Amino acid sequence: MTVDRVAIIGGTGEEGFGLALRWARAGIAVTIGSRETERGKQAAGRVREVLADARVDGMSNQDAAASHDVIVVTVPFGGQATIYKSIAEHVREEAIVIDGTVPVSTAVGGRPTTVLGVWQGSAAQQANSLLPKSVTTMGAFHTLAAKAVGEIETPLEGDVLVCGPKKGKPVVRELVEAIESLRFVDAGSLDQARLVEPLTALLIGINRRYKTDRAGVRITGLPD
Ligand SMILES: NC(=O)c1ccc[n+]([C@@H]2O[C@H](COP(=O)([O-])OP(=O)(O)OC[C@H]3O[C@@H](n4cnc5c(N)ncnc54)[C@H](OP(=O)(O)O)[C@@H]3O)[C@@H](O)[C@H]2O)c1
């Protein structure tokens, strides 16, 4: 499958908007989904202000989901379940849905909202549980700092740890490799998202200590 178009649910926010810019620059047609169609269209306009030739549009989350085979979701964890419930019946039967949600709350200083012994799942597994069984749910893009993603003249550093069924991995690989300098790393099944997602909480703390906003992750020792 060659990924020619992608919908980004939550693409009006910092993380999704940065990805929209990066993919639009790579020539991929991007649809920015929003709870309000007008907000999606305004965000698409902002992409065009940066990249005049971008193939970009804005839609409601439901319309964006219904009209794409590849969907990326970048929304706050607090609203994630509501968003999936609102799009579930619109998602195409064979769609690949890539969840980038991180279960942290900035309101509590970036600490994980998961508590050992209470909930040890992941946002990606929650997404999967809310989507039809025919849909392939993947987890990816958790450790990319939005500030760095949005600065499209600067190559991104780091790896994208990708979790989920084998069927979805070539698609996520294409999206990762469409972004200059990023590397796809196969992190295993969707279960592994419970290990990958908390890395972002770790990075938030590292950012704070090093007074930066772009700490990321690089796995060493892998063959080329
Ligand atoms: N920011 C980062 O550096 C970073 C890095 C790695 C991972 N992440 C993760 O990526 C996800 C998105 O991050 P972000 O910083 O882009 O988030 P954000 O800007 O707060 O939100 C993204 C979009 O989600 C929608 N949204 C906001 N609150 C919502 C709610 N309560 N319920 C449903 N939808 C809501 C909004 O779109 P509409 O109003 O247009 O619907 C918003 O523009 C989060 O899970 C975050 O943890 C972020």
H or E stretch including 197? none
To test the pocket of ligand 1, the residue of 32, 36, 74 to mutate (highest count of ligand atoms within 8 Å of its CB) is: 74
**Segment 5-40, tens digit of pLDDT:** 999 999 999 999 999 999 999 999 999 999 999 999
198 lines ligand 1 (CB under 6 A): no
**pLDDT beyond 90 at 108:** no
Q: Any idea which fold 5-210 has? A: Rossmann fold (3.40.50)
Percent of the chain with pLDDT over 70: 93
Helices 14-25 and 37-50, axial angle in degrees (round to 10): 50
Q: How far apart are CA 177 and CA 26, in angstroms?
A: 10
CA distances, 12 to each of 48, 95, 97 (Å): 14, 21, 18
Euclidean distance between CA atoms 195 and 212, whole angstroms: 23
The model's pLDDT over 46-74, given as tens digits with 9 standing for 90+, comes to 999 999 999 999 999 999 999 999 999 99
Atom of ligand 1 nearest to the CA of 83: 33
Q: Is the minimum distance from the CB of 73 to ligand 1 under 6 angstroms?
A: no
CA–centroid distance, residue 74 to ligand 1 (Å): 6
> What backbone phi and psi angles, to 5 degrees, belong to 56?
-145, 145
